[in-house]
Structure 1
Amino acid sequence: MAQQRKLNKGQLRRVRQNQQRRLDTPSVEEEIANDDLAASEHGVIISRFGQHADVLGDDGYRTRCHIRRGVESLVCGDSVVWRRAKSPIAEQSVQGIVEAVHPRKSLLSRPDFYDGLKPVAANIDQIFIISSVLPAFSAQIIDRYLVACEDSEITPVIVLNKADLMNELEPEQQAEITTTLAMYEDIGYRVMKVSAHTKTGMSELTEALSERVSVVVGQSGVGKSSLVNSLLPEIEADIGAISDNSGLGQHTTTVATWYDLADSNIGLTGALIDSPGIREFALWHLERDRVAWCYRDFRPFLGQCKFRDCKHRDDPGCALQEAVNSGDLHALRLYNFHRIVESMQTQKPPRMTNKGSAQRGK
């Protein structure tokens, strides 16, 4: 390993000056004493930016707050205890302090190759899995999100956006999408076909939001922000285009953001969370057996294979393969399961390979 270069005298002097400046400059937390804060209030995290977060108070107003050092893992949707500053402070944009977080009833997380399992949003009732005709419809991507929903015990709703473009596809492609969506309905998942452009199916989608906290997920470019804009036109979420080179969506939303439906003109209560666009939802943090359990239609057959270490491929006496052959299990689902398991091994960070999965026990 190459030796690290030593700092010269000028560099050392500047480093020490910067360190001393940080020590001499009081933080927001130190600057606001308890006597300078109003009584505790309850609120919801709208979005988070580093050590700051926007809090929606009971009065319906948004307040930028500093996060106490002792508060861990704060995300959009968290229910918190916070206090307003009685007088202006140095950082004019900061007008309060988040002091505590209430226990979560649910948490949606996604694996990050460098940072491990990263929470996305909390206290969610349902997840809208947005797919679309363009970019290319993918049942495997939908299955990844379904596994994440089942693992988090959050109700999924599959939404096919850009349904107005179906007639532009080849008949074989139309048949494939129609058959796949029917498969998910047969399994027991709710499926909607909508178009943010023509407003087709939007009334059904709007009704599904009522009295629930919902999060929108899906690959970049499937039209998440367009759907959010159609539902809540006053928020004007950024809309991205499809890359001409890759055919993939380009990221628009950068942080998970909470939108209170009570502030909209659709006359509903509840909330909608728009999440950062991701092109693929990795599952390397789960064990293979956990992924199999998260396939809802696998559960009647799990534990019935002839061998305990059955890989569900060509193993003799495999209950899943027998279910496929008898028509009791969709072949596409088993195919997607194997593709997911294979990708988990290649996507898993090196630090995880010897330590096992970081999955939560359930």
Structure 2
Amino acid sequence: MPKRRLSERQIERIRTIQERRRERLAARTDAVLAESDAESEPQEGRVVVRHGANLAVEDDRGQIIHCLSRQNIGHPVCGDRVVWQMTGDGQGVVTAIQPRTTLLSRPDFNGRDKPLAANLTQLVVLIAPEPAPSGYLVDQYLVAAELMGVEAMIVGNKMDLLDADAQADFKRQFSHYDAIGYETHWVSLREPESLSQLIARLARETSILVGQSGVGKSSLVKALLPDREIQIGRLSKATGLGRHTTSAATCYRLSGDGSLIDSPGVRSFRLGAIDRDGLHQGFREFKPHIGQCRFTDCDHAHEPDCAIREAVESGSIAPERLANFHHLLGLKQPTS
């Protein structure tokens, strides 16, 4: 069923309501800060959950503190390193957001970037035989990873659904990613030993799982986090948010000193507007050929002496990657 488009009047009404909520939050936060213990020292921590006005901040000792955020510092998200101050009631107020090394965002209904998670080091793209994987969506995720400057890998889940021949065919569909340097892992939750290499790759990283609905993300998260319920209980007790912690982006601790951010917001992920030059940077195998075309504004579609199309013909670039480049650029596919 198509989504109903909002009128300008409805959009303006939503903005007005949101602004009133922000003003109420600012007044509430300033009141809390005014009553805080003036002797408390600023501390650093990491946002592990944000639910509306409520933040769960983990300090350097691993303790969770329920915090509010000062209005004028911006919008902290899961994974942010922040400066916070203890208040007299044993809670806290976030007073600054530390510079972010990376930021994953997606466009909101107004086309503006909405931050989802910060300070990631790794993007894990999840696919499965069912539902049929979308190479276009996979490439959107990989472009996002390249533009953020984080590592990316592809994980094929539910491999137990396929017999040996079908598995080989499925893996072959994605072999061009191996060829350009993206790690691929093939796992089945019915075969726990198949997870060992993936678990090792998540150690000492801050990762997020992304993928289309139905690929088994929730089940894989549970397998990677055998103590997930304990961690949720710890967050709920510290923040008073109850089970609401599971409906927001949440940063969990993994074995091996890693972290896993589980975010419902990446289920409908899409890239915002990117121009041709920016999009070039998202396709890593294009880079050696950029600037080699006859025309500086080449779209790699019908233009003569195109270095990118020549690389496709020679096998250096997979044709489906160029097709997805054109799709993201908003071009119709060449007919010849």
Inter-CA distance 195–138: structure 2 relative to 1 (3 Å threshold): same
The CA deviation string for residues 208-240 of structure 1, in whole angstroms up to 9 with x for no partner, is 111111111112221122111001122149xxx
Inter-CA distance 224–34: structure 2 relative to 1 (3 Å threshold): same
Following superposition of structure 1 onto structure 2, how do residues 20-39 of structure 1 map, counting pairs within 5 Å?
A: 27-33=28-34, 35-36=36-37, 38-39=40-41
Q: Which residue of 2 aligns with 1:350?
A: none
Q: CA deviation at 1:78?
A: 0.5
Inter-CA distance 277–253: structure 2 relative to 1 (3 Å threshold): farther
- Contact 2:73–2:97 (8 Å) recurs in 1: yes
Aligned residue identity for 2:100: R
- Contact 1:67–1:97 (8 Å) recurs in 2: yes
Q: Which residue of 2 aligns with 1:195?
A: 188
Q: Which residue of 2 aligns with 1:141?
A: 137
Q: Which has the higher helix share?
A: 2
Inter-CA distance 99–47: structure 2 relative to 1 (3 Å threshold): same
Q: Which residue of 2 aligns with 1:68?
A: 70
Following superposition of structure 1 onto structure 2, how do residues 33-72 of structure 1 map, counting pairs within 5 Å?
A: 33=34, 35-36=36-37, 38-72=40-74
Structure 1: distance between partners of 2:229 and 2:173: 32
Inter-CA distance 121–57: structure 2 relative to 1 (3 Å threshold): same
Structure 2: distance between partners of 1:277 and 1:71: 23
| 1:166 partnered with 2:162 | yes
Aligned residue identity for 2:191: T
Q: Which residue of 2 aligns with 1:282?
A: 270
| SS of residue in 1 equivalent to 2:66 | strand
Aligned residue identity for 1:312: H
Q: CA deviation at 1:278?
A: 4.0
Q: CA deviation at 1:280?
A: 4.6
Unpaired stretches in structure 2, ≥5 consecutive residues: 1-8, 10-19, 231-244
| 1:77 partnered with 2:65 | no
Q: Which residue of 1 aligns with 2:206?
A: 213
Structure with more relative contact order (C-alpha pairs < 8 Å, separation 6 or more): 2
Structure 2: distance between partners of 1:82 and 1:125: 24
Q: How many equivalent residue pairs?
A: 296
- Contact 1:253–1:277 (8 Å) recurs in 2: no
| SS of residue in 2 equivalent to 1:202 | helix
Aligned residue identity for 1:307: F
Aligned residue identity for 1:179: R
Q: CA deviation at 1:281?
A: 3.1
Structure 1: distance between partners of 2:101 and 2:211: 22
Q: Which residue of 1 aligns with 2:171?
A: 178
Q: CA deviation at 1:183?
A: 0.9
| 1:127 partnered with 2:120 | no
TM-score under structure 1 normalisation? 0.75
Unpaired stretches in structure 1, ≥5 consecutive residues: 5-18, 89-94, 238-251, 345-362
Q: Which residue of 2 aligns with 1:302?
A: 290
The CA deviation string for residues 140-198 of structure 1, in whole angstroms up to 9 with x for no partner, is 21111000000111110111111111229xx6x65552223211001111111112343
| 1:255 partnered with 2:256 | no
Structure 2: distance between partners of 1:309 and 1:115: 26
The CA deviation string for residues 90-128 of structure 1, in whole angstroms up to 9 with x for no partner, is xxxxx2111111111111111223251111111111111
TM-score under structure 2 normalisation? 0.80
Structure 2: distance between partners of 1:342 and 1:280: 19
Structure 2: distance between partners of 1:71 and 1:220: 34
Structure 1: distance between partners of 2:111 and 2:272: 13
The CA deviation string for residues 75-96 of structure 1, in whole angstroms up to 9 with x for no partner, is 10011111222236xxxxxx21
Aligned residue identity for 1:296: R
Larger Rg: 1
- Contact 2:127–2:211 (8 Å) recurs in 1: yes
- Contact 2:153–2:183 (8 Å) recurs in 1: yes
Q: Which residue of 2 aligns with 1:152?
A: 148
Q: Which residue of 2 aligns with 1:110?
A: 106
Q: CA deviation at 1:254?
A: 3.6
- Contact 1:131–1:159 (8 Å) recurs in 2: yes
- Higher mean alpha-carbon deviation, 74-83 vs 272-281, is at 272-281
Q: CA deviation at 1:26?
A: 6.3
User: RMSD across aligned C-alpha pairs, in angstroms?
Assistant: 2.7
- Contact 2:127–2:215 (8 Å) recurs in 1: yes
**Paired-residue identity, %:** 41
Q: CA deviation at 1:70?
A: 1.7
Structure 1: distance between partners of 2:309 and 2:88: 66
Aligned residue identity for 1:72: G
- Higher mean alpha-carbon deviation, 294-303 vs 109-118, is at 109-118
- Contact 1:127–1:149 (8 Å) recurs in 2: yes
- Contact 2:106–2:272 (8 Å) recurs in 1: no
